[in-house]
Chains A and B, each alone.
Chain A
Amino acid sequence: MATTVHEPPQIDPRRLPRQRQSGNGDWGNLRPSDGNVRVALEYSPPPSSTAIWVVLFAVTMMFAAFSSALIVRKGSSLDWQGFALPSILYFNTLVLIVSSLTLEVARRRVTTFMGGGIQVENPTRWLYVTLFLGLLFVAGQYVAWSQLRAEGLYLATNPSSSFFYLLTVTHALHVLGGLGGLLYVIRKLNRSALRRNQLVATARYWHFMGLLWVYLLLLLWMKL
């Protein structure tokens, strides 16, 4: 008969609030929400930084399914007719990459802004620039679809055009979701109620949309 002595609960130091540290994933607030930090929060990282990885994983799986469908469908068919990608896509790519950069600038400014150090200009402006670039990207995609339609390439014209529309439209819808996230962040920032992890999560999602787009462009460029 052995005796088990139960350790008193250990608090993992990694779980302690890292309030003064700046950078990704920690959970300092712009301001304490009501001065009353709850215990559950005290010992947990904020769920949105975990949640965003979960979301990105699901999005990855979804596009993996579409990509494998494309590869299988192309490999098994004799009716595949390639077409040249509309050149505006390359411009759109540039827009999306630049928007990632502006969002990164905004994120850093928010960090400084929040750290209460030197007073810098309000980072909202950079968020608006990102928002504008995101909209520009979606508008650019729309132009690309119109060009293809003008060439007589519709969704059902050929498997290659089916996959083109499928992948670009699904991606554009996800980008619109990211724009919703940006609007949410801007609103919160204007009310001084933004928590940094929300911005970080939005930024991760946005960067991921950029990466995903580059991947899709490569896939379409190679396979169409």
Chain B
Amino acid sequence: MHDVAAHAAHHAPPTSFIRKHVFSLDHKVIGKQYYALALVAAFVGMFLSWFMRIHLAWNDTAIPGLQLLSKTGAPGGVMTPEYYLQLMTMHGTIMVFFVLTTAPFAAFGNYFLPIQVGAEDMPFPHFNMMSFWVTFVAFLVLMSSFILGDGPTLGGWTQYAPLNAVGSVAGPGQGLGVVLWATSIGLFCVGQLLGSLNFITTTLDLRVKGMSLMRLPLTAWAWFITSCMGLTAFAVLMPACILVILDHVAGTSFFVASNLVINDQVQPHSGGSTLLWQHLFWFFGHPEVYIAIVPGLGIVSHILITNMRKPMLSHRTLIYSMGALAVLSYMVYGHHMFVSGMNPFSSLAFSFPTLVITIPSTIVVLVQVFSLYGSKLRINSASLFSLGFISMFVAGGVSGFFLAQPSIDIMLHATYFVVGHFHMVMGVAAMFGIFAGTYFWFPKMTGRMMNETLGKAHFWLSFVGAYCIFMPFHYLGLAGNVRRYSSFVDDFLQPLIPVHRFITVAALLTGAAQLIFLYNLIHSRFWGKLAPNDNPWEATSLEWSTATPPPFDNFGGKHPVVYHDPYQYGVQSSVGDYVMQTSPEQVKTESDEQ
């Protein structure tokens, strides 16, 4: 148990380079480290998706340079079917774990949660530092599978049993590749558990005077709810990874059934349960979707409120809805297993909570959309990405109506419809949340503004591009195009190849648009326009009341006192149409109170 006084309140600014920038205890540095990790991971994941898309559209085309990555996997640059699956697995794993979990939750949460509650730091800075470095090692372990053994595992990010447990006899990467995958994910779980511990205690215990729970901004609530989900989900995935590793290295049979015959050889395992893995995995896997998206809901609401110059119709409704999403997310995981051979009654039992979860999602969207009514909407890169988030979240969300129903799932399961659904609702939407957060908080993190013109260009290309990529996925799925195929040799799928080519072109262009973002990020970091003041967006929450960038102890030795609800916009005050949470000024609201 750490000494609270010694760490949370009293640790002195470090002086050495290593303690300041590498093994830093400062939550802001750790947040930036997480962001950098997510950025690298996102581009790795994106390049992998390019390779996959090119291969899908033009099967025999050599991709220059790919043979450098793996001589056997891509001889002469032409991808083999197994290498396609290996890249696909890495794309999914990197994106879900190292981008969608780290960026909106660990990166922004680490940086801004303590500031938004008014704390000097997280209560357990050593755990926080470990959280990042364990995650970093997890990433390295995962990456190492590119060069070790016969490459990464090909089992998909869900790593279904018994393919994940029978060993290298089942295909390339199924020996060492799976062990590395499971080690990486196990470590990642440890990192996120440590992170969740800090997030929860920060929110509950380190709020400053006057900061009641309902005065927390929606972002803080989103991170808090996410950390509660993470605590439950990652604590279940970690044991599952341990069991897989034991099946590989210790010869146990947790997941491998008896009498499996591969290459005419009966496998030396007995009686394991293959459905056990699916239950453990999806008990984590479905909440993981919400771990990726709930911070986005918070960030987008926070940014929209600032740019609408009025609070959301109801603060509490949004908080309760996000909480309901978190609770329900544990009751619905079986909808991934409708046709898995699970008891058909269970499928029905999982179907209803899945349909019910549309209600809190709908409430969130309705509140966000109808709050726009009567607002004074400011259009900038951050608010555009936030509005784009809503559009994407709706587009990806409605396809959930289909997949929640076991009867329709018979047709759509394991087709591109599912791929389109989750890419839109948790992939693109969450990415838009990350982008929005970046454009919005960049001035606070660096003291410089990002370039708005480039930001808007980035938005337009990403928004239109994402629809061009992922809407056709749904059509392909409806037509019965099966996912995880490296090429379409079926007579049935041949006519769909033009659609795949369209998607590939769209993906290449949209991916290239992300380079604009990268350029903007790096250029603005060093040469961007200086932020005019500490509060360029005229926002109210605590992060905008401190210096830019925030000093080591966040508030320069002072402890802010909170006087107001988080979003006092549309009021008349001495500074304009808003009152900061730390301002003792009494305010008259312009709009009607509810």
Q: Which residues of A are interface residues toward B (Cβ below 8 A)?
A: 1-6, 8-9, 11-12, 33, 38-48, 50-52, 54-55, 57-59, 61-62, 64-66, 68-69, 72-73, 76-80, 155-156, 159, 162, 166, 181, 184-185, 188, 193, 195, 197-198, 201-202
- Given known pairs A9-B210, A58-B235, the reply for A48 and B200 (CB within 8 Å) is no
Asked if B60 is at the interface of the complex by the 8 Å CB criterion, the answer is: no
Q: What 0/1 readout, one digit per residue, does chain B (563-593) give for beta carbons within 8 Å of chain A?
A: 1100000000000000000000011111011
17 A-B contact pairs sorted by A residue (CB < 8 Å): A1-B590, A1-B592, A38-B559, A40-B118, A43-B209, A47-B123, A47-B206, A48-B1, A48-B4, A51-B197, A62-B239, A73-B273, A76-B276, A77-B270, A77-B271, A79-B270, A159-B272
Closest beta carbon of chain B to A156's beta carbon, Å? 4
Residues of B within 8 A of A6 (CB): 563-564, 586-587
Residues of B within 8 A of A12 (CB): 212
- Given known pairs A2-B592, A6-B586, A39-B209, the reply for A73 and B254 (CB within 8 Å) is yes
A166, B563: Cα distance in complex, Å:
52
What is the number of contacts between chain A and chain B, taking CB atoms within 8 Å? Answer: 179
Asked if B26 is at the interface of the complex by the 8 Å CB criterion, the answer is: no
Asked if B551 is at the interface of the complex by the 8 Å CB criterion, the answer is: no
Asked if B67 is at the interface of the complex by the 8 Å CB criterion, the answer is: no
Interface centre among B200, B236, B239, B246 (most CB of A within 10 A): B239
Q: What 0/1 readout, one digit per residue, does chain B (218-238) give for beta carbons within 8 Å of chain A?
A: 000000000000011001101
Asked if B204 is at the interface of the complex by the 8 Å CB criterion, the answer is: yes
Residues of B within 8 A of A184 (CB): 1
Residues of B within 8 A of A66 (CB): 239
Q: CB distance A43 to B9 under 8 Å? A: no
Q: CB distance B1 to A51 under 8 Å? A: yes
Residues of A within 8 A of B33 (CB): none
Q: CB distance A4 to B3 under 8 Å? A: no
Asked if B262 is at the interface of the complex by the 8 Å CB criterion, the answer is: no
Closest beta carbon of chain A to B115's beta carbon, Å? 13
Asked if B562 is at the interface of the complex by the 8 Å CB criterion, the answer is: yes
Q: CB distance B9 to A47 under 8 Å? A: no
Closest beta carbon of chain B to A6's beta carbon, Å? 6
Interface centre among B1, B8, B196, B590 (most CB of A within 10 A): B1
Q: CB distance B201 to A54 under 8 Å? A: yes
A40's contact among B119, B562, B586, by CB below 8 Å, is which?
B119
Complex: chain A residue closest to B239, CB-CB: A65
Question: Beyond the given A9-B210, A11-B209, A79-B270, could you list 4 further A-B residue pairs with CB under 8 A, ordered by the A residue number?
Answer: A33-B6, A50-B205, A62-B236, A69-B280
- Given known pairs A6-B564, A40-B559, A72-B279, the reply for A47 and B235 (CB within 8 Å) is no
Complex: chain B residue closest to A27, CB-CB: B4
Residues of A within 8 A of B236 (CB): 61-62, 64-65
A23, B202: Cα distance in complex, Å:
24
A4, B566: Cα distance in complex, Å:
14
Q: CB distance A50 to B200 under 8 Å? A: yes
Closest beta carbon of chain B to A7's beta carbon, Å? 9
Q: CB distance A47 to B124 under 8 Å? A: yes
Q: CB distance A57 to B231 under 8 Å? A: yes
Interface centre among A4, A12, A201 (most CB of B within 10 A): A4
A55, B123: Cα distance in complex, Å:
14
Asked if B144 is at the interface of the complex by the 8 Å CB criterion, the answer is: no
Q: CB distance A39 to B280 under 8 Å? A: no
Complex: chain B residue closest to A201, CB-CB: B1
Secondary structure type dominating chain A contacts: helix
Residues of B within 8 A of A47 (CB): 4, 8, 123-124, 201-202, 204-206
Closest beta carbon of chain A to B556's beta carbon, Å? 14
Q: CB distance A44 to B207 under 8 Å? A: yes
A86, B8: Cα distance in complex, Å:
46
A5's contact among B207, B242, B252, B586, by CB below 8 Å, is which?
B586
Q: CB distance B201 to A50 under 8 Å? A: yes
Q: CB distance B1 to A159 under 8 Å? A: no
Contact residues, B259-283 vs A (CB, 8 A): 270-273, 275-276, 279-280, 283
Residues of B within 8 A of A46 (CB): 4, 205
Asked if B258 is at the interface of the complex by the 8 Å CB criterion, the answer is: yes
Residues of B within 8 A of A181 (CB): 1
Closest 3 CB pairs of A and B: A9-B210, A47-B123, A77-B271
Asked if B288 is at the interface of the complex by the 8 Å CB criterion, the answer is: no
Q: CB distance B280 to A65 under 8 Å? A: yes
Complex: chain B residue closest to A185, CB-CB: B1
A46, B201: Cα distance in complex, Å:
9
Q: CB distance A72 to B276 under 8 Å? A: yes
Q: CB distance B587 to A159 under 8 Å? A: no
- Given known pairs A9-B563, A61-B236, A69-B276, the reply for A55 and B197 (CB within 8 Å) is yes
Residues of A within 8 A of B120 (CB): 40
A155's contact among B6, B252, B273, by CB below 8 Å, is which?
B252
Complex: chain A residue closest to B121, CB-CB: A40
Q: CB distance A77 to B563 under 8 Å? A: no
Residues of B within 8 A of A69 (CB): 239-240, 243, 254, 276, 280
Residues of A within 8 A of B239 (CB): 62, 65-66, 69
A76's contact among B212, B273, B589, by CB below 8 Å, is which?
B273
A1, B243: Cα distance in complex, Å:
62
Contact residues, B5-26 vs A (CB, 8 A): 5-6, 8-10
Interface centre among B5, B120, B270 (most CB of A within 10 A): B5
Contact residues, B60-119 vs A (CB, 8 A): 118-119
Q: CB distance B559 to A51 under 8 Å? A: no
